[in-house]
Amino acid sequence: MELRLAAILISDIVGYTKLMETDTQGTVTKWTDARDTVVEPEVESKGGRLVKFLGDGFLAEFSTVQKALECAIAIQNGVRENSLKFRMAVHLGDIIDDGKDIYGEGINIASRLEGIAEPGGICISGDVYNQVQNRIPAIYEDIGPQEVKNVAKPIQAYAVRYENMPGAEKTIPNSSEAGIPSIAVLPFDNMSGDPEQEYFNDGIVEDIITELSFIKNLRVIARNSSFTYKGKSIDIRKVGDELDVGYVLEGSVRKVGNNVRITAQLIVTSDNSHRWAKRYDGTLENIFELQTEISQKIAEELNLEFSSITEVSVGQDAIKRKEAHDIARRGRAVMVPPNARNIESSKRFYHRAIEIDSNCALAYAGLGHADIVTAWHHEFDPAARDKFFKSGTDLAYKAREIDPKIALPYVSLTVSFLLQDDAEKALEISKKGMEQCPNTPEACMGFGLINTALENFGEAIQSINRGIDLDPLFRTNYLLLINYHYAMQSYGDVIAVFEREFRDALMVDLPPYDWSIILCSYKKLGDHEVASNLNAELEKAYPEFSVKNLEKAGSILPKNIFLDLIETLEICV
| Residues 56 and 22 grouped into a single domain | yes
199: Cβ contacts below 8 Å, ≥ 6 apart: 326, 327, 329, 330
335: Cβ contacts below 8 Å, ≥ 6 apart: 342, 343, 345, 346, 366, 369, 370
| Residues 301 and 412 grouped into a single domain | no
- What residue type is 464 in one-letter code? I
The whole-angstrom distance between residue 197's C-alpha and the CA centroid of its chain comes to 30
- What residue type is 524 in one-letter code? K
Does this model's pTM top 0.85? My answer is no
Residue 434, domain member (yes or no): yes
| Residues 21 and 165 grouped into a single domain | yes
What SS3 class is residue 123?
A: strand
What SS3 class is residue 2?
A: strand
Residue at which a domain ends, from 285, 310, 335: 310
- What residue type is 41 in one-letter code? P
The CA distance from 255 to 258, in Å, is 7
| Residues 88 and 200 grouped into a single domain | no
The CA distance from 43 to 502, in Å, is 28
The CA distance from 432 to 438, in Å, is 9
pLDDT at residue 573 in the model? 67
- What residue type is 133 in one-letter code? Q
- CATH label of the domain that carries residue 207: 3.40.50.10610
| Residues 219 and 122 grouped into a single domain | no
Cα dihedral 520, 525, 528, 530 sign? negative
| Residues 166 and 243 grouped into a single domain | no
Rounded average pLDDT per 10-residue block, the chain, 573 residues:
85 84 84 92 91 88 90 90 87 84 85 87 91 80 79 84 50 39 94 84 93 91 94 88 91 91 92 88 89 91 74 62 91 89 96 96 97 92 94 98 95 97 96 94 96 92 90 90 92 88 87 94 92 92 90 93 95 78
Residue 544, domain member (yes or no): yes
The whole-angstrom distance between residue 399's C-alpha and the CA centroid of its chain comes to 25
| Residues 241 and 306 grouped into a single domain | yes
φ and ψ at 217, to 5 degrees?
65, 35
Range of the domain at 189: 182-310
Residue at which a domain ends, from 279, 294, 310: 310
What is the DSSP code (8-state) at residue 166? T
| Residues 188 and 113 grouped into a single domain | no
- Closest by alpha carbon to 535, among 523, 526, 525? 523
Residue 496, domain member (yes or no): yes
Residue 141, domain member (yes or no): yes
140 beta partners: 160
| Residues 240 and 148 grouped into a single domain | no
| Residues 305 and 367 grouped into a single domain | no
What is the DSSP code (8-state) at residue 36? I
Work out how many domains the chain is built from and give that number.
Answer: 3
- CATH label of the domain that carries residue 410: 1.25.40.10
Residue 342, domain member (yes or no): no
pLDDT at residue 308 in the model? 61
CB-based contact 492:94 (threshold 8 Å):
yes
Residue 343, domain member (yes or no): no
5 beta partners: 94
- CATH label of the domain that carries residue 162: 3.30.70.1230
Residue 330, domain member (yes or no): no
| Residues 365 and 491 grouped into a single domain | yes
The CA distance from 484 to 452, in Å, is 6
Nearest 5 degrees, angle CA 114-CA 119-CA 121? 65
Residue at which a domain ends, from 284, 310, 336: 310
Residue 268: in which H helix or E strand, if any? strand 259-268
φ and ψ at 96, to 5 degrees?
-110, 125
| Residues 89 and 6 grouped into a single domain | yes
Residue 315, domain member (yes or no): no
The whole-angstrom distance between residue 233's C-alpha and the CA centroid of its chain comes to 24
